[in-house]
Amino acid sequence: MTRLDLTTPAAARQFFETKLRQRQVNKVLHSFPSPRFWTGGAGTPLEARPLGSDAPSCELYVALPFCLTTAPAHCGYCLFPTEAYSNQDQLDVYLDYLAREGELYRERWLELQPRSVFIGGGTPNLLKAHQYPRLLGLIHDLLPALPAATAVTLEGIPQLFSREKLEVMQAHGVTRISMGAQQLDHQLSLLSGRKQQPKHVFQAVEWAAALGLGCNVDLIFGWPQQTMAHLERDLRGLMASGVEHITHYELNVGGATDFALNRREELPGPELVRDMYHLARELLTAGGYEQLTPYDFQKPNRQEQGESFVYEECRRTFDAHDVWGWGYAAISDFPDHRGPRDSPDQPGQNGGSTLMNARTLTAYYAALDAGRLPTEVGYTRTPADLRLSLLFRNLQSLSVDRASYRANFGQDVLEEFPGIWQAAADLGFVTLHDDALRLTPEGAYRVPLIQTALMQARVEELTDAHVAGLKQARQQQAAFQPLQPASSPSAAPS
Ligand SMILES: C[S@@+](CC[C@H](N)C(=O)[O-])C[C@H]1O[C@@H](n2cnc3c(N)ncnc32)[C@H](O)[C@@H]1O
Ligand code: SF4
């Protein structure tokens, strides 16, 4: 495979300029490297982790897999693993299995004090009101050291947040909800097959405020048929509701989704999507929202009350911070903290590890029935992988602290990728300072592109190794094929 060399500013600039003509793709949805390079089998990274090797800081992600079915499937755009919801019993069975998985961590989690808990999915607010005490009870039972004030967020879709559910959730420890609205224009929303109406979003925001629950609303821009006028109307309407946190994602188009296969022609082009990002950023900041990440905007008043938004916030530094994933398709991430991170680039040399639970319910249940951890795939990072993975998280904070990078990894981030940073500066994505690299507003929008450039060389190496592994497996398989006897009834007719 011919390699792209992005070490000079000219080569990196050419790379950026070619990509600027296309729609952006976010290749770091969950983690680096992508799960397509992770492998399965026995001896998962978690089993290899001795008790007591946990980082001093961590967060917990709890997954609920089910979603209402839509036509088109998966809301037309969603790439997350999910399972079709059919009835309430499914949820009870799932909670039984979640409890069984939790038992496998009980000993490890006795002292664990996650900085935040996020109950995501899927659609966790499919649970009926009487099922929240059970779910929250499982969490509190397994984490007896969880401080009472811990931020606990529960995600869901607008039409399934009833006032009764919000009251029960809150009574059992939920402090914040996160609602996927995506579009407030009903006609645009209908393209995804979702049945919600704008009034459901505003009603839930109002109930959350009345109860004193934190509230985030997710919107997506770059949607089929979306215009600047749609975007502006949605944002102004949402800001007028007083919601304190708005997450404004760029539509990631990919996989076998309806939007990728059937609505490409209706998608706004790259220039328009970029302009949408900047208009949104200007509207939100002018409306009193502070930009926390390329996509997160928050009103400062909640922080002043001492309730800072901690979910994922601690992931944006280079400090050792574990993520525990519990449930179907949940991802755990354990950046190693046991030694210096500037050791040679070998797997297992303080690069840490990441793993993902089973992505089908059948496999998730089967593993637990067999008394096994439900891990499906995992990956042991090299120090170079770890540097990239933590650099990508750090970029979410809109700047990279050079001294902190040097203290953690023994090198200067500017010297590690000189061509890319220089080209990014020349194109106005970053400003380079003695203490930090700072993203400009254009650079914040281009984070997925900057990440793609930074990971290019490593992804090429991993792809080569992946292809070589597949070839070897195919050769081994062929070598073990038994010869078919000439008279075999299954032999193809000649
Ligand atoms: C995994 S979903 C779960 C939330 C809930 N089920 C819902 O749909 O509202 C979390 C968020 O991811 C975002 N998301 C999902 N697929 C996306 C895509 N292809 N591009 C951009 N954002 C996406 C949406 O904003 C969604 O609210
Ligand atoms: S967007 Fe939300 S509701 Fe739709 S399929 Fe994805 S997780 Fe489920």
Smallest CA-to-CA distance from 104 within 46, 56, 59 is with 46
The phi, psi pair for 374, rounded to 5°, reads -85, 30
Task: Quote the DSSP letter at residue 317.
Answer: S
Identify the nearest ligand to the CA of 182 by its number: 1
Q: Are 393 and 294 in contact (CB under 8 A)?
A: no
Positive or negative: CA dihedral 95, 96, 97, 103: positive
Residue 439: inside a domain: yes
What is the 217 CA–ligand 2 centroid distance (Å)?
14
The protein residue with its alpha carbon nearest to ligand 2, atom 5, reads 74
Identify the nearest ligand to the CA of 178 by its number: 1
Enumerate the β-bridge partners of residue 278.
Answer: none
Q: Residue 285: helix, strand or coil by DSSP?
A: helix
Positive or negative: CA dihedral 238, 241, 246, 252: negative
Mutate-to-test residue for ligand 1 from 155, 196, 251, 296, highest number of ligand atoms within 8 A of CB:
155
Domain harbouring 457, CATH code: 1.10.10
User: Cβ(454) to ligand 1 under 6 A?
Assistant: no
Identify the nearest ligand to the CA of 125 by its number: 1
Question: How do 83-84 and 66-67 pair as beta strands?
Answer: parallel
How many residues can be counted in the chain? Answer: 494
What is the 2 CA–ligand 1 centroid distance (Å)?
35
What is the 349 CA–ligand 1 centroid distance (Å)?
35
Smallest CA-to-CA distance from 360 within 332, 329, 331 is with 329
**Rounded (10°) angle between helices 270-286 and 228-240:** 20
Q: Are 386 and 308 in contact (CB under 8 A)?
A: no
Residue 307's pLDDT is: 47
Residue 56: inside a domain: no
Distance CA(133)–CA(129), nearest Å, equals: 8
Mutate-to-test residue for ligand 1 from 27, 61, 80, highest number of ligand atoms within 8 A of CB:
80
Closest atom of ligand 2 relative to the 157 alpha carbon: 3
Residue 348's pLDDT is: 55
The protein residue with its alpha carbon nearest to ligand 2, atom 3, reads 67
Smallest CA-to-CA distance from 140 within 129, 131, 152, 128 is with 152
Residue 75's pLDDT is: 98
User: Cβ(123) to ligand 1 under 6 A?
Assistant: yes
Residue 144: inside a domain: no
Distance CA(329)–CA(358), nearest Å, equals: 5
Closest atom of ligand 1 relative to the 219 alpha carbon: 25
Distance CA(448)–CA(180), nearest Å, equals: 21
For the chain (length 494 residues), average pLDDT per consecutive 10?
Answer: 87 96 80 88 66 83 98 97 96 98 94 95 97 98 94 97 98 97 98 97 98 97 98 98 97 95 97 98 98 94 50 67 95 76 61 90 96 92 89 93 90 95 98 97 97 95 88 79 49 33
| 398: Cβ contacts below 8 Å, ≥ 6 apart | 291, 293, 294, 438, 439, 444
What is the 180 CA–ligand 1 centroid distance (Å)?
6
Task: Quote the DSSP letter at residue 251.
Answer: P
Distance CA(315)–CA(32), nearest Å, equals: 13
Mutate-to-test residue for ligand 2 from 30, 64, 78, 258, highest number of ligand atoms within 8 A of CB:
78
Q: Which amino acid is located at 152 in the chain?
A: V
Q: Are 326 and 98 in contact (CB under 8 A)?
A: yes
Identify the nearest ligand to the CA of 158 by its number: 1
What is the 242 CA–ligand 1 centroid distance (Å)?
22
Distance CA(61)–CA(66), nearest Å, equals: 16
Identify the nearest ligand to the CA of 179 by its number: 1
42 Rama sector, left if φ>0, alpha if ψ -120 to 50, beta otherwise:
beta
Residue 313: inside a domain: no
What is the 132 CA–ligand 2 centroid distance (Å)?
20
What total of structural domains would you count in the chain?
1
How far is C-alpha 229 from the geometric centre of its chain's CA atoms? Answer: 29
Smallest CA-to-CA distance from 438 within 411, 400, 389 is with 400
DSSP string, 441-456: HHHHHTHHHHHHHHHH
| 473: Cβ contacts below 8 Å, ≥ 6 apart | none
Residue 337's pLDDT is: 59
Distance CA(406)–CA(401), nearest Å, equals: 9
Q: Residue 356: helix, strand or coil by DSSP?
A: strand
Mutate-to-test residue for ligand 1 from 26, 74, 189, 220, highest number of ligand atoms within 8 A of CB:
220
pTM of the entire predicted model:
0.92
What is the 328 CA–ligand 2 centroid distance (Å)?
15
Distance CA(50)–CA(371), nearest Å, equals: 19
Question: Domain limits at 437?
Answer: 1-30+400-470
Residue 489's pLDDT is: 37
Q: How many CB atoms lie within 10 A of CB 110?
A: 11
Distance CA(439)–CA(431), nearest Å, equals: 7
Residue 494: inside a domain: no
Mutate-to-test residue for ligand 1 from 26, 74, 78, 328, highest number of ligand atoms within 8 A of CB:
78
User: Cβ(257) to ligand 1 under 6 A?
Assistant: no
What is the 264 CA–ligand 1 centroid distance (Å)?
19
Closest atom of ligand 2 relative to the 74 alpha carbon: 5
Identify the nearest ligand to the CA of 74 by its number: 2
Residue 398's pLDDT is: 96
Mutate-to-test residue for ligand 2 from 61, 64, 67, highest number of ligand atoms within 8 A of CB:
67
What six digits make up the tokens of 290?
Answer: 């502070």
What is the 395 CA–ligand 1 centroid distance (Å)?
21
Residue 429: inside a domain: yes
Residue 4: inside a domain: yes
Distance CA(330)–CA(64), nearest Å, equals: 9
Q: Which amino acid is located at 218 in the chain?
A: D
Burial 52-83 (b: 16+ CB within 10 A, else e): eebbebbbbbbbbbbbbebebebbbbbebbbb
Residue 7: inside a domain: yes
